[in-house]
Each structure stands twice: as structure tokens, then as C-alpha cells.
């Protein structure tokens, strides 16, 4: 297998320490399938990787192998798709690495939710990947063209396509969004049709699919692992498990990119620190925007500001704990 065929480029070759390198095509806890120039190998993490507390390998990573199957290092990532780990703590969970295009999939049934799309867009902009919105199950709506136009207003500047993976139309738009040797990923709720899209593009049933509940269009997690596939046109596609509610992990500044229309208007407000609530001369409120979109903007801004404070606190606490460990070690083993 030619490494350039599955994403190797100058960015990674400049880091190449020598030896065998490969790309993680499947990640399942401590088991990895890695593509190398010698073929596909099954790999496990080495002890040195654990002891250094280095980046844990995830699908899409380029890794260094020892003895052909022991992962000893992870090359620096070009892009990194993350979310806040579920729970009360402010910890990052890396979902995938080195993605160029992120296909955000929403079903045009009860799954369609503009506010959730905005959350996915924040994650995409933070990752460094280029977002593209796919409105699947368009065969269920006679007004899907109107929904596409409405969605374009929700995600300004982001390509939006309607398709039906089940009926097999509209899929030709996807390969045109990804260059040869580049990597895309499918992300969205369970039941939105990500695995059906992948199977259609591959021309075979490689991923399990399942129906959704008629009452709320929720689906089961048929995709339980993160996996990379090589497409016939020479680009790569990841299928990621469904996310019920994407927990944000991003800098507060990413809100400005996701809500570029509001950001542009905010530059015309009378006061630089305008909160767009009660201040006079507020250009955002004067523009008569969709009130639900404005509420979403404020909510996500507060959420990311809180996450930023929690993350700083967690980092400071971890640094203090690390320093105390070093101090205790120095007391136990003083210099002679």
C-alpha cells in the first residue's frame, strides 16, 4: 500500500523519525488496525507510549511502530476532532484525527434540529476540518428544497446538500467535496443514516444499519467503533458512532466563525462589549434575526465561556498536583 494513497503528505514526512509508520484505520480501545506500506497490521500500544502520557492513538492518526505491531509514538496531528467527555469534569475526548472535511449528517425526519447543527459546526471549526452539511432522508419531505434554503441561513458559508441514502440519490455530491488522498468523516446522531451513506458509497454493506423509532426518529448505535475506509475515487472516509448531544470542546472564539452573520452585525453595535440584549444601538437586535438562533448564540457563548474557565481550573489543579509530586520525590531523594 502506498502511504500517499491513505493520506501521507509533507506535514507528516517532516516529522518522520525513521522506522515503520502507518495510519490507524480502526480504533477499538487498545486494539488498532494500522495501514502500512507493507499492508494492514493489527497493533497494540507499547509501554513507552503509556508511561509518557503521550497522545493516545485514535482513528486517522499516523503512528510509529516497533517490531511491526507495537505503537510507540503518535505523529503531530494536522486536525483533531474532539468533544467534552461525558460527565461533570472538563476533560477532552478525541474522536478522530487528521480530517480534512467533516460531513455533518442530519436526517430530515424528527432528527432535523438546526440548534444541534450549530453545535456540530462549532466542533468542526475547532477541529480545523471544513464542514459540509448533509440533509439525509430527503425522500421523506416534499419541501426538502425549502429546508435546504433554511439550513443555509443557519450555517452561513457552509455547503448544504440534500440526499437520500436509502433511495440512492444525491450521493454524487460527496466525492466532489474531497480531493484524492484527503480524508473526510461522517458525524451525526444515531439513526441519521451515516452507515447507509457509507454503504452506498462503497457499493456494499460494510456497516450494520438499523431503523429508527417512528415516534422520535431515534436510532440505535449500530456503529460502535471508529473506522477508516478507502473509497474508489482515492479519498478516505471515516464512520464515527452517533452522538445524541454533541458536548462542546472548543475555544470561545469559535462561536464567531459558526455565527458569522451575527458576528458581522456585532461589529456595527454602538458599544464594543454589547451583549445584544438591552443595550441601545445594538445592530444585532435591530436586524430582526430569528430569535431562536440568537438564543442559541447566547447559550453556546455562555457554555464555552464556562468550559474555558473550567478547563483553566483543571489545568491549574493538575499542574499543582504535578509540582507536589516532584517536591515529594525530591524530599525522598535529596541531592548529595
CATH code for the domain of 136: 3.40.50.300
Residue 103's domain comprises 97-239
10 Å Cβ neighbour count for 228?
23
Whether residue 116 is found in the same domain as residue 177 = yes
Whether residue 147 is found in the same domain as residue 194 = yes
Domain boundary among 204, 239, 274: 239
Whether residue 185 is found in the same domain as residue 118 = yes
The answer as to whether 321 is a domain residue is no
Whether residue 221 is found in the same domain as residue 281 = no
**Per-residue model confidence (pLDDT) at position 326:** 58
The answer as to whether 37 is a domain residue is yes
Question: What is the Cα Rg of the chain in Å?
Answer: 22
Q: Do 136 and 165 meet the contact criterion of CB atoms below 8 Å apart?
A: yes
The answer as to whether 301 is a domain residue is yes
At 181-239, the pLDDT tens digits run: 999 999 999 889 999 999 999 987 765 454 544 444 454 445 457 899 999 999 999 99
**Per-residue model confidence (pLDDT) at position 213:** 46
User: pTM for this one?
Assistant: 0.84
Whether residue 38 is found in the same domain as residue 148 = no
The answer as to whether 329 is a domain residue is no
Whether residue 148 is found in the same domain as residue 30 = no
At 121-149, the pLDDT tens digits run: 999 999 999 999 999 999 999 999 999 99
Whether residue 110 is found in the same domain as residue 203 = yes
| Total of domains in the chain | 3
* Domain CATH code at residue 310: 1.10.40
**Ranges in the chain, pLDDT < 50:** 208, 210, 212-217, 219-221, 223
Whether residue 292 is found in the same domain as residue 217 = no
Whether residue 266 is found in the same domain as residue 141 = no
Whether residue 261 is found in the same domain as residue 235 = no
**Per-residue model confidence (pLDDT) at position 182:** 96
**Per-residue model confidence (pLDDT) at position 183:** 97
- Residue 88: C-alpha distances to residues 137, 208, 247 (Å): 35, 32, 11
Amino acid at each position: 500500500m502506498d502511504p500517499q494513497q491513505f493520506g501521507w503528505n509533507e506535514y507528516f514526512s517532516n516529522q518522520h523519525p525513521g522506522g515503520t509508520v502507518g495510519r490507524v484505520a480502526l480504533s477499538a480501545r487498545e486494539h488498532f488496525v494500522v495501514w502500512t506500506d507493507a499492508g494492514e497490521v493489527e497493533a497494540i500500544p507499547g509501554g513507552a507510549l503509556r508511561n509518557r502520557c503521550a497522545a493516545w492513538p485514535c482513528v486517522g492518526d499516523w503512528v510509529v511502530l516497533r517490531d511491526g505491531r507495537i505503537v510507540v509514538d503518535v505523529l503531530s496531528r494536522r486536525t483533531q476532532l474532539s468533544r467534552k467527555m461525558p460527565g461533570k469534569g472538563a476533560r477532552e475526548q478525541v474522536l478522530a484525527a487528521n480530517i480534512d472535511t467533516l460531513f455533518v449528517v442530519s436526517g430530515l425526519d424528527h432528527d432535523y434540529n438546526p440548534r444541534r447543527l450549530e453545535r456540530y459546526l462549532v466542533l468542526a471549526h475547532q477541529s480545523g476540518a471544513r464542514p459540509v452539511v448533509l440533509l439525509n432522508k430527503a425522500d421523506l419531505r416534499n419541501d426538502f428544497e425549502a429546508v435546504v434554503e433554511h439550513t443555509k441561513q443557519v450555517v452561513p458559508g457552509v455547503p448544504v446538500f440534500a440526499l437520500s441514502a436509502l433511495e440512492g440519490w444525491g450521493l454524487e455530491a460527496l466525492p466532489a467535496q474531497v480531493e484524492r488522498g484527503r480524508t473526510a468523516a461522517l458525524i451525526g446522531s444515531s439513526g441519521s443514516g451515516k452507515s447507509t451513506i457509507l454503504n452506498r458509497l462503497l457499493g456494499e454493506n460494510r456497516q450494520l444499519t438499523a431503523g429508527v423509532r417512528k415516534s422520535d426518529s431515534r436510532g440505535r448505535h449500530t456503529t460502535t467503533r471508529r473506522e477508516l475506509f478507502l473509497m474508489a475515487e482515492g479519498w478516505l472516509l471515516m464512520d464515527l458512532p452517533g452522538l445524541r448531544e454533541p458536548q462542546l470542546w472548543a475555544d470561545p472564539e469559535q462561536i464567531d466563525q459558526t455565527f458569522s452573520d451575527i458576528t458581522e452585525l456585532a461589529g456595527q453595535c454602538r458599544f464594543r462589549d454589547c451583549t445584544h440584549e438591552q443595550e441601545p444601538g445594538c445592530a444585532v437586535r435591530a436586524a430582526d434575526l430569528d430569535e431562536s438562533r440568537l438564543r442559541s448564540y447566547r447559550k453556546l457563548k455562555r457554555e464555552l465561556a464556562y468550559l474555558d474557565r473550567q478547563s483553566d481550573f483543571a489545568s491549574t489543579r493538575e499542574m499543582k498536583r504535578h509540582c507536589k509530586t516532584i517536591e515529594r520525590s525530591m524530599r525522598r531523594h535529596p541531592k548529595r
